[in-house]
Structure 1
Amino acid sequence: MKKIFDRTTILSTIVVLLPIVPALIFYQRLPEQVAIHFNAKGVADRWASRPLAVFGLPLLLAGINIVTQFILLTDPKRDTQSKIFRLARWTIAPISILANTMTLLIALGISVQIERIIPLCVAILFLVIGNYLPKAKQNYTIGIKIPWTLANEENWNKTHRLAGWVWTGGSV
């Protein structure tokens, strides 16, 4: 039988779930209602119960990670050695660590300038994607998948070269 999940899938899912450990350590110090969403000014506008805040986001992101891994691994045109493929397989893990760490710190009353940290992280993500998009080989999973790019490799390359500049510019 063919393996559905490989070592990277298992390791990245474990990393996605790691934020549960410090949350459990500080569980009793967390308030009953934990802020889980913030507006552009850094003011909390959504809350969740303590158990949902501790387990909900990591488990949701672990599920997203597993689905993402499955989709990436089942692409018939995948190039497992490409940098963008490897990058895509590890994208959810740092998002989980960042989001859960920020939530935990704020719940513990530690001052965090989330209104600056999150836009900076999104800009870095856009910059990284913009850097790797032009290098993406034609596939069915990662990139701009419209009929014209999937039908013609030259179109794919030109589209992704332009998209790389747009994403990089958008990161600024």
Structure 2
Amino acid sequence: MSINKKEDRNILRKLTDFLTILPIVVSIVALSFMPDMIAMHYNIDGIADRFASKYEILILPISIIILSIIMKLIERSISNDPVFKNRGKSNQKVIERFRLVLVLMLNVLTFYIIYTSVMGVEDLSKMKINITTLVGMMIALIFIVIGRSLPKTEINNVFGIRTDSSMKNEKTWDLTQKFSARVFIITGVILFIGIPFLRGVKAIVAILLCAIVPSIICIVYAHIIAKKY
């Protein structure tokens, strides 16, 4: 690895670690500006239907830290996996970038929740960006990131479209990941563009369909390819 690439990866890791800690720090500071009871759940119409102690706001930031640590451990396990020894470094880079994107998006979600809590928002329909729209757009971006990452992965037990068929050999793996990459990117773009125009049940159904249907298509494709190769 060249010095520049090594430095870039170190910057990437430090940035991810910073974004992992940032939500808990901001949340703790924001507690003093929140009422004792805040809206912690909204119904399908965006109306608050459960209120709880403001300290529940810390659950998501703590979860981000735990998730980031787990993904960091996965990175190390992949790079040291004796079964996939020669492929570990490539897959580790993919996980590193995916961890950064995921943590960044969870930061956005955390700050949205902090804002609504500080402002005492009880009706999300009054917000310029609905929480369902925000979550849908973040999921769409995650699909796009996954799509861009899939062709760069090599056979592993953690990341990618992993079925008995796709992992049959290098050929079936490569073809499955490249095909799945296109499926996830197209799905992500469609969801990102379409979700702002949907509300309530329609938005939730759209998100679920975009999560389930592409996965089924990719699994079926892998099964078909495995029969050929």
TM-score (structure 1 length as normaliser): 0.79
Measured in 1, the distance between the counterparts of 2:27 and 2:128 equals 17
Runs of 4+ in structure 1 over 6 Å off: 7-10
The answer on 1:104 being equivalent to 2:121 is: no
CA, structure 1 residues 38+153, in 2 after alignment: closer, same or farther (shift >3 Å)? farther
CA, structure 1 residues 40+161, in 2 after alignment: closer, same or farther (shift >3 Å)? farther
The answer on 1:33 being equivalent to 2:37 is: yes
3-state secondary structure, aligned to 1:142? coil
Structure 1 window deviating more from structure 2 (21-30 vs 160-169): it is 21-30
3-state secondary structure, aligned to 2:157? coil
2:152 aligned partner, one-letter code:
K
Cα deviation for residue 61 of structure 1 reads: 1.6
The answer on 1:58 being equivalent to 2:61 is: yes
Corresponding residue number in structure 1 for 2:7: none
Corresponding residue number in structure 2 for 1:3: none
CA, structure 1 residues 82+9, in 2 after alignment: closer, same or farther (shift >3 Å)? closer
Alignment of 1:1-172 (within 5 A): 12-38=16-42, 41-53=45-57, 55-75=58-78, 76=81, 77=84, 78-80=88-90, 83-109=93-119, 111-113=127-129, 114-171=131-188, 172=190
Higher Rg of the two aligned structures: 2
Measured in 2, the distance between the counterparts of 1:107 and 1:31 equals 8
- Residues 144 and 160 of structure 1 are in contact (CA less than 8 Å); yes or no, is this contact kept in structure 2? yes
Larger RCO (CA under 8 A, 6+ residues apart): 1
- Residues 102 and 112 of structure 1 are in contact (CA less than 8 Å); yes or no, is this contact kept in structure 2? no
Give the number of aligned pairs.
166
What are the ranges of 5 or more consecutive residues in structure 1 without an aligned counterpart? 1-6
Higher helix fraction (1 or 2): 2
Cα deviation for residue 26 of structure 1 reads: 2.6
